[in-house]
Amino acid sequence: MAVIGIVGAGLMGMACARRLIGGGFGVVAFDVDPVKRAAAEKLGTRSAASVAELAAHSDTLVLAVFNTDQVEQVIEGQGGLIEAGDPSASPPVICVSTCDPDRLAALAARAGPRGARILEVPISGTSRQVADGAGVGLVGGDRALMERLAPVLDAICKRRYYLGEVGNASRAKLAVNLILGLNRAAMAEGLVFAERLGLDREALLEVARGSAAYSQAMDVKGRLMARREFSDPQSRVDQSLKDFRLMLDQARKKGQALPFAEVYARMLEDCIEHGEGEWDNAAIAEAIYRRRGN
């Protein structure tokens, strides 16, 4: 039985673990947080005490960490794959984190000649959608490596798109997340507006789902917004803010203004300021609700 090592036992890491266990793979997990490691063990994974130990006992590694800094640390930082031993003998890496595309491409270029093999596969979908098999993988990197890792990828996200070199998948993921986030924002603003007009949020949600305004975001996040239930996150506010800051940084480099994204990022920052960073990102509705006109 092939063994998959997962670095990062958060929402997406554990969603991938569920898919892999269900697909017949053995799974070993590492996280710097012992609470998350314990939760992963309850799910059915084995636990590793370090990245080096994880790599030594895995056929493939899945990186599901928070940001690009952490991806770089796992690959080439102190205690990372390259420092731990001969990278050419280490398992190939599937990076499902949403990263800075330029930095990830540069990392792959630096690590490749030293034997580290990186396939970029950010996944579109909440952690719950991924766990249910509805995630969509965006793939960047060597096509031959993608084909070699197809059984692992099939278990995590059977539906996927190949986008060429490393960096392109993250660029596509940022564009997709921009569209998705603004869909959430439009729904949130509509529900708050309806409430201010004296309508019931849940009733209005059903009307919207049956109208020309429908979007998949209504199915995934609508009831959370309507019922104001955010404490059991599928995707968190702080993760969304990290992604939107990446979008705005990339847009600035290209000389493109993203006016709606700028407003959305400010709403997420408002959530963070109110202690809602670990809530589901449907909590964007709370930031809108707090904004009162004159």
Q: What is the pLDDT of residue 117?
A: 92
> Distance (Å, rounded) from C-alpha 292 to C-alpha 22?
48
Q: What is the pLDDT of residue 85?
A: 65
Task: Show pLDDT as tens, one digit a residue, over the chain (294 residues).
Answer: 799 999 999 999 999 999 999 999 999 999 999 999 999 999 999 999 999 999 999 999 999 999 999 999 999 988 888 877 665 568 999 999 999 999 999 999 999 888 889 999 999 999 999 999 999 999 999 999 999 999 999 999 999 999 999 999 999 999 999 999 999 999 999 999 999 999 999 999 999 999 999 999 999 999 999 999 999 999 999 999 999 999 999 999 999 999 999 999 999 999 999 999 999 999 999 999 999 875
> Distance (Å, rounded) from C-alpha 211 to C-alpha 215?
10
For each of the domains in the chain, give its residue range(s) and CATH number, in order of start.
Answer: 3-166 (3.40.50.720), 170-290 (1.10.1040.10)
Q: Nearest to residue 107, comparing CAs of 175, 165, 60, 150?
A: 165
Q: What is the pLDDT of residue 81?
A: 86
> Distance (Å, rounded) from C-alpha 232 to C-alpha 229?
8
Q: What is the pLDDT of residue 246?
A: 97
pTM greater than 0.75 = yes
